[in-house]
Structures are given as structure tokens and as C-alpha cells.
Structure 1
Amino acid sequence: MTVSIDQKLRRVLSDVLGLDADQVAAFDADTGLFGHLPELDSMAVAGLLTELEDRFDIVIDEDEIDGELMETYGSLLAFVKAKREAA
């Protein structure tokens, strides 16, 4: 069984941020991340980006990181999907 990018991203968020799996499962495209989740502070962003690179086998360039990237679950998911398709 192949794990979807969506499922894998939810697992990364749960693991890195220590969020409850049920909380992460309830995320939709409009769920706010940075600035909305107390667990996702500036220090956690660095760890999250590193973990995304490792688990999705992608490279995230510094110029790709902006406020919109982590604004919502949907924006982060779209970014990871685009990076995987380009890889």
C-alpha cells in the first residue's frame, strides 16, 4: 500500500510538532499552521523543513521559504506535492 503525500505530510507534522494524530487528521486545506499552532514556532520550522527534505527526498531552497509556505496546511501540501513532482 502506498502512503499518499497527504498522509505522509500529516505524519511528519505529528512527529515533528508532537501533535495528536487526531488533531492532524482533522486538518483541511484552510487549517492555519504558522501563527496558528503554538507548537510551530520559528525553531520548529527549521526542524520541520529538514524533516520534509529527509522524508520526501526533496531539496528546499532558502528562497522558496516565505510566509505563505507555512500559512495553511493546503499551501504546505501543495508545495510538497510540487517539489515531489519536480524531483
Structure 2
Amino acid sequence: MIPEGKPEVDATVRAVLKDVLALSDERVAAFDDTTPLFGALPELDSMAVAGVLTEIEDRLGIVIDDDEVDGDMLETFGALTTFAAGKTLV
């Protein structure tokens, strides 16, 4: 079951990755829950992570604490959107 609002969170995270990492529409549109991110996308280096998370915070109106950021949440597109949805859809 998909939580209400999850498609909007997915769309927001997709837009953030596109904008912050300067990815093409086609590339980001092809992301699914299993698409690897950190370590697989050369554009998503440690410096870009901060920009992506800050932009997700701004666009979704959430706060991401430093202790919540780990490799698991950035491993795949699905993990990142699930994390963001968990913060947003409470």
C-alpha cells in the first residue's frame, strides 16, 4: 500500500536530484526504487549530498538531522524517497 502523498514526495525527490545534480529529465524519469544513488551516480558525491538533502528539506518542509544521514538512506532512489516520505507523511 502506498501512503497518501508518497507520489508527491517521489516527484519532489526526483526534481531535487534533477536540479541539484544537473541530470537530464530522461535519466531521472528512469529512476525506480532499486536505482542505486550514492556510489553509483558520479554526480552524487559527498559535497552534492549536502545540497540534495538541504533542497529536500526546503521543498518538503522537513528537517533532516545529521544523525539520520547514513549510507542506507542514500543507497537507492527508493530508500531516499521512503526516508523523505517518512519525515513528511507523519
Please give the alpha-carbon distance, in whole angstroms, between the structure 1 residues aligned to 2:13 and 2:71.
18
User: Cα RMSD (Å) of the superposition?
Assistant: 1.4
| Paired position in structure 1 for 2:53 | 49
- 2:17 maps to a residue whose letter is L
- The 5 A counterparts of 1:1-87 are 4-86=8-90
Higher normalized contact order (CA 8 Å, seq sep 6+, divided by chain length): 2
TM-score of the two chains, using structure 1 as the length reference: 0.93
How many residues get paired? 85
Please give the alpha-carbon distance, in whole angstroms, between the structure 2 residues aligned to 1:32 and 1:59.
24
- Give structure 2 stretches of 5+ with no counterpart: none
Identity of aligned residues (%): 56
Tell me the SS of whatever aligns to 2:38. Answer: coil
Q: Deviations over 1:17-76 (max 9, x none)?
A: 000011000001110000000000000001111101100000001110011011000000
- Off by >3 Å, runs of 4+ in structure 1: none
